Amino acid sequence: MTAAVEFQRVSRHFGPASAPVKAVDGVDLTIAEGSFFAMLGPSGSGKTTCLRLISGFEKPTGGTIRIFGQDVSDIPPNRRNVNTVFQDYALFPHMNVRDNVGYGLMVKGVDRRTREARAEEMLSLVKLDGYGDRKPAQLSGGQRQRVALARALVNEPKVLLLDEPLGALDLKLREAMQDELKTLQARLGITFVFVTHDQGEALSMADSLAVFNEGRIAQIGTPAEVYSRPRTRFVADFVGSSNVLPPEVTRAFGGPAKWSSLRPEMLRLTAPDGVALSGTVTGLRYLGAGSRVTVALNGTEVAAQLPAGQPVPEQGATVGLAFDPAALHVMEGEG
Amino acid sequence: MHSDRASLGLRIAAIGGLLFLHLPILLIFLYAFTTEDKSYQFPPPGLTTQWFGVAWNRPDIWPPLYLSLWVATIATFLAMILGTLVSAAMARTSFFGREQISLLIILPIALPGVITGMSLRSAFSIMDIPFSTWTIILGHATFCIVIVYNNAVARFRRLSGGILEASADLGANAFQTFRYVLLPNLGTALLAGGMLAFALSFDEVIVTTFTAGQQSTLPIWMLQELVRPRQRPVTNVVAIVVFTATFVPILIAYYLTRGGSETAGAGK
Amino acid sequence: MTTPAILPERGLADRLTALFWRHPRLLLAVLLTPPLLWLGVVYLGSLAALLLQSFYSIDEFSGMVKEEFTLKTYAELFRAQNLDIILRTLLMSAAVTLGCALIAFPIAYYAARFARGKWKAVFYLGVMLPLWSSYLVKVYAWKLILAKEGIITWAAEGVGLSMILNAILAIPGIGGNSLSTSPLGTFIVFVYVWLPYMILPMQASLERVPTSMLEASADLGASRAQTFRTVILPLAMPGVIAGSIFTFSLTMGDYIIPQIVGTSARFIGLAVYQLQGTAGNIPLAAAFAVVPIVIMLVYLTIAKRKGAFDAL
C-alpha cells in the first residue's frame, strides 16, 4: 500500500549556505494511509515546517516529498490534494460560513446549488447545522474551528493537515474536540496529520507519532512505544513524565552507564533497611487519583507514582525504592 | 496627577485650541455671502447669494475646475495602481532594500513641496520637456502614491495572514485569490486611499505652480485671485467649492476605514 | 478513492501561479518594478536634476543657462541679500516651531490623557479634518481675518483693545501696516496651518506615557510641576521633535503664505519660486532649494539620535 506521505532526506535550510538555519534537517518520514499521525515537539523543532512542506507553503532545500507516491516538489499548494486547518483558522471575514465552507468548490467551478448543498453536508458533519448564514466574527472560537475543519474537508482531500488546531480552546472544549476529531477521522478514513506541542494530546489521539527535536525526528512510533521505550533523553523528557536518569544514576540503579528512563508508576516505596536504593522524601503531591512522591538520592531526584489508597510517607522520611528491573529502559542517547 | 480629571485651565486651552483650528474656515463661508466685494470688511455690510450665480457665469473659473478634476482623477488612478503594487510587495516578506524603498515612497511628501516642485522643474528644463497637463499629473501621482500606500499597507497588516494561504490551500490560483479574497478585504482601504489622494491632488498648489506652465488648476486660479483680487466674494465661493471637494472625500475615507486601527489620514 | 494526489493544471492562470510559487522573487520583482521605476525616474531623477542645476550657472549677459559644472551659483548664496533670506527663513521656522509646540501641547496633552469615548473621536476628527482640508482655503481664511478691515480689527475695537493692536503693529520687525501685511501675520498663519502636524506626534508620544508612571512619581513625593518637568516633558520630547521636523521643514519651503500674508520680504521658498519664474535664474533657484534639503538632513540626523522617529 502506498504511504500517504513520504519524506526522503528532506531538509529546509534558511539563510546563507555558510551558516544555514536548519529548520528541518534530513528528515525521513512515512505516514500510512488512513492513519491519525501526530507531529510532536517544542516550538522551533521543525514540526510546523514539515507540515507546511506537505501543504506546499514551504519548499524543501533538499530531499523528496511524495504524496501517495507522487513527487510534489514542483507542485504549488493549490494543486496538491491536501488541505489545512490553520492555527488561527484563517476564515474569510467577508464571507458567511456557508460561502467559507464552499470556497474550495467555488474555485473549482462547481455550480452554486451543488456547492451550497455540499457545504450544508459538511456543516452537519461538524455539528454546525443552520450556521450557514452567520459571519465568522459572530462565532465563538470553537465554532470557528469547526468551520475551518468543514472548509478543509469539503474538497475531500487525500490528506488533512491540522496545525495546532486546539491550542486556542479552553480545556474542556479541547478535550471534547479531541474526541470529535478522532471519531471524524475514523468515519472519513482520511489521513490526518496533526501538529501539536502538547504531548498529552498527541499520546491520546495519534495512531503513530513523530517526536521532533531541532529539525530532526528523535523517534517515530506508536504512543505506547514512545512513552514506555523512549529512544533518547529528549524524548523521555518531552513525552510523559518519566524519570530520566543520567548514566551515573542508571549504574546505581543496576543498569549500564547510559541514560535511562523509569516510569514513576513502576517505582514502589519500601522500608529503607536492607534495600539497595534508599533516599529522602523531598516532595509530596496529592493528585486525586494517586500521589506523586519525590525522593532524593544519589545526587538526583526521582518521582514515584503511588496509586490512591496506598500509604504515603512523610516529608523528610527515609524510604527504600524497588522496581522490576525490566522497567528500567535504557536509551540510545541524549538528543 | 492625583485625580483623573483635567484642570479647568487645561480643558479650556484644549478646546480653545480646537476652536482655533476650525473657526477660520467658517468665516470663509460667511464672506461668500457678503455684499461688499472690494474689501474684507467685517462685519459684512449685507448678505446676498448673488455671488454663487456670478461665479457660475464667470468663464475663467470652469476650465481650471475641469483641469483640477481631470488631473486629480488620473493622478489618483495612477497612484492607486502603483501604491497597491508596492504595498503588496512590502506588506509581508522582508527583503533586501526594504527600508530604503520605504523611505523612497515617503520622500515626495516628506520633503517640502517647493523642493519637489523645483526638482521637477529642473528636470523639465534639462530634458527640454514642455509644460502640459501631463507634467502636472506626473507630479501629483508621485506624491499621491504614498497616500494609497499607507492605507493599503495598514490594511494588509491587519489581514489575518493566513487567509491568502488558506485560499491557495483550498485550490485557488493567484488570480482567484486576488479576486475573491484579497480585493474584498483590501477594497475599502484602497478606496479610502484613493479618496485621500483625490483630495490632496485637487487641493495641491505648492508643487503644481512649478509644473503647470501657463495652465491653471483651480487652486492656481485661487492663488492668482488672492494676489490680485477681482470680485472677492467670488473667490470665496470658489473656496467653498475647493473646501467641499477636499472635505467630502476625507470624510468618506474616514468612515470607510473607521473600524480598524488604521483609520485613514493618520499617516499624512 | 481514485482522485489523484496532484490536481491538473487548468490553464494560464494556474501556470502563472506555479511560476510565482517556484520563483517568489519573480513576483516581488513584478510588483515592485512599475512603482520603483516611476519613483526612481520621476522623483529621484528630478532630485538629481535639481542638484545638477545647482551646479550650473547663468550667463549674465545672455541670461541662458550655462551647462558647465561650477560652484559660482552656490557662492552667490553668500551674498548679503541672499544670506538675509536664508536667515530670515530660519528665524521664522524656529519661531513657528516654538509657537506650534506651545499651542499644540495643551491640545495633545488633553487628548492623550483625558479624552474618553466620544471626546476622543471629537479630538481625533477635530485635528484630522483641518489637517486634510484645503491648504489654500485655510490661508485665504486668515487673509480675511487679518485684513485691516477684517474681524480682528473689529473685535479689537469692540473690546477697546485697538490701542494694543496698533502698538504691536508698530513694533519694527514684527508689525506692519496691518496684520495681514506684517511678519506677525505670516507667523500666525504658519502656526495655524502647521498646528495639526505638531499635535499628532505629540499626542502619540504622550499617549505612550503610562498613567502608572505619573502615579509613581506622585507617590514618590513629586509635585505636579515636578512631575511635569521630569517625567512628562522628557517622554513627550520625541513627539515634539517629530512634530518640529514637519513645522520646520514646511515653513522653510513655503512660498505661498508669505505672498498672501506678509511683507514683501523674501523667504527661501519665495526666492526659489520667483527665481525659476519671471527672473529666469534656474540654477540659483536650484541652489536655494538645496539649502532646506541640507538643513533638514542635518536636523533629521539629530532628531533620529534623539529617538524622534519612534513617535512618527
Q: Give the pLDDT confidence score for residue A242 in this predicted structure.
A: 82
Chain A partners within 8 Å of B170 (Cβ): 78, 83, 103-104, 107, 151-152, 155
Contacts of A51 in chain B (CB under 8 A): none
Interface test with C, best of A58, A75, A82 (most C CBs within 10 A): A75
User: CA C79 → CA A259, B267, C75, C76, C85, distances in Å?
Assistant: 86, 40, 8, 5, 10
CATH of the domain at C105: 1.10.3720.10
Q: Is B25 part of a structural domain of the chain?
A: no
What's the burial of B207, exposed, middle or buried (CB within 10 Å: 0-12/13-18/19+)? buried
CA dist C191 and C103 (Å) reads: 9
User: What gap in Å lies between CA A249 and CA A259, rounded to an integer?
Assistant: 9
Residue C181's CB is within 10 A of a number of other CB atoms, namely 19
% residues pLDDT > 70 (chain B):
93
Ramachandran quadrant class, A181 (left: phi over 0; alpha: psi -120 to 50; beta: rest):
alpha
CB of A167 less than 8 A from some CB of B: no
Q: Which range among B208-212, C150-154, C226-230 shows the weakest confidence by mean pLDDT?
A: C150-154
Q: Is C255 on the interface with B (CB under 8 A)?
A: yes
Q: Is the pLDDT of residue B264 over 60?
A: no
Residue C55 lies in a domain: no
User: Given an 8 Å threshold on Cβ–Cβ distance, is B168 in contact with A155?
Assistant: no
Q: What domain range is B103 assigned to?
A: 59-256
CA atoms within 13 A on the CB side of A184: 20
- Identify residues of C whose CB sits under 8 angstroms from chain A CBs: 1, 3-9, 14, 17-18, 21-22
How many Å apart are CA C297 and CA C291, to the nearest integer? 10
Q: Are A104 and A151 in contact (CB under 8 A)?
A: yes
Flag whether pLDDT at B262 surpasses 60: no
Those chains having 3 or more beta-carbon pairs within 8 angstroms of chain A are B, C
pLDDT at residue B263, as a whole number: 46
Q: What is the CATH number of the domain that holds B97?
A: 1.10.3720.10
Output the pLDDT for position B267.
Answer: 46
Average pLDDT over residues B164-182: 92
Query: What is the spatial distance between Cα C22 and Cα C13, in angstroms, rounded to a whole number?
Result: 14
Span B79-92, mean pLDDT?
A: 88
Residue C234 domain boundaries: 72-311
Distance CA A143, CA B238 (A): 56
pLDDT at B4: 58
User: What is residue C307's predicted lDDT score, i.e. its pLDDT?
Assistant: 61
C-alpha cell at C68: 558647465
Smallest CA–CA distance, residue A78 to chain B, in Å, is: 4
Q: Please, is A156 exposed, middle or buried when counting C-beta atoms within 10 Å of its C-beta (0-12, 13-18, 19+)? A: middle
Q: What is the pLDDT of residue C309?
A: 56
Q: What angle do CA C81, C85, C87 make, to 5 degrees?
A: 115
CB B151 within 8 A of CB B199: no
**Is residue C12 included in any domain, yes or no?**
no
Pairwise CA distance, residues A326 & A263, whole Å:
11
C116 within a domain of the structure (yes/no): yes
Q: Which residue has the higher pLDDT, A87 or C148?
A: A87
Q: How far apart are CA C262 and CA A36, in angstroms?
A: 80
Nearest Cβ partner for C272 among B4, B114, B125: B114
> Which conformational region is residue B20 in: left (phi greater than 0), alpha (psi within -120 to 50 degrees), or beta?
alpha
* A75–C17 C-beta distance less than 8 A: no
C57 domain residue, yes or no: no
Judge whether residue B1 has pLDDT over 60: no
Cα–Cα dist A206/A250, whole Å: 31
Kindly list the residues from chain B whose CB atom is less than 8 angstroms away from the CB atom of residue A151.
Answer: 166, 170
pLDDT at A218: 92
**Which is it for strands A5-14 and A62-67: parallel, antiparallel or unpaired?**
antiparallel
Q: What would the DSSP string read from start to end of B221-266? A: HHHHHHHS-SSHHHHHHHHHHHHHHHHHHHHHHHHHTTTSS--TTT
Strands A318-322 and A277-286: antiparallel
B50 lies in some domain: no
pLDDT over 90 percentage in chain B: 22
Q: Which chain B residues in 190-209 lie under 8 Å from chain C, judged by CB atoms?
A: 196, 199-200, 203, 205-206, 209
Residues of A in contact with B162 (CB under 8 A): 86-90
Pairing of strands A300-307, C57-58: unpaired
What are the residue boundaries of the structural domains of chain A, listed by start? 5-236, 241-330
Q: Give tens-digit pLDDT for C244-283.
A: 888 888 898 888 888 888 877 788 888 888 888 776 788 8
The pLDDT of residue C1: 45
Q: What is the pLDDT at residue C281?
A: 82
Q: Is the pLDDT of residue B168 over 90?
A: yes
Domain at A5-236: CATH architecture: 3-Layer(aba) Sandwich (3.40)
Q: The whole model's pTM is what? A: 0.80
CA atoms of C67 and C86, how far apart (whole Å): 26
Instruction: State chain B's mean pLDDT as an integer.
Output: 83
Is A81 near chain C, with CB under 8 Å? Answer: yes
- Nearest-CA residue of chain B relative to A99? B180
SS3 A86: coil
Count: domains in chain B: 1
Residue C15 lies in a domain: no
Domain count, chain C: 1
- For domain A241-330, give the CATH superfamily: Nucleic acid-binding proteins (2.40.50.140)
Closest by Cβ to B170, choosing from A76, A93, A103: A103
Distances (CA, A) of C76 to A115, B102, C49, C292, C296: 77, 36, 20, 16, 21
Alpha carbon separation from A231 to A228, A263, B22, C36 (Å, rounded) = 10, 14, 75, 55
Residue C297 has pLDDT above 90, yes or no: no
The pLDDT tens digits of the residues spanning C77-110 come to 888 888 888 888 999 999 999 999 999 888 888 8
Which phi and psi (to 5°) does residue C87 adopt?
-65, -40
Cross-strand partners of A161: A84, A193
DSSP one-letter code for A95: S
> Helix, strand, or coil here: A81?
coil
Residues written for chain B:
268
Tens place of pLDDT per residue across chain A (335 aa): 678 899 999 999 988 888 888 999 999 999 999 999 999 999 889 999 999 999 999 999 999 999 999 999 889 999 999 999 999 899 999 999 999 999 999 999 999 999 999 999 999 999 999 999 999 999 998 899 999 999 999 999 989 999 998 888 888 888 888 999 999 999 998 999 999 998 889 999 999 999 999 999 999 999 999 988 888 888 988 887 788 888 888 888 888 888 888 888 888 888 888 788 888 888 888 888 888 888 888 788 888 888 888 888 888 888 888 888 888 888 887 76
Cα dist from A64 to A12, A30, C298, whole Å: 11, 12, 55
Assess B166–A contact: CB distance below 8 Å, yes or no. yes
User: Is any Cβ of chain B less than 8 angstroms from the Cβ of A109?
Assistant: no
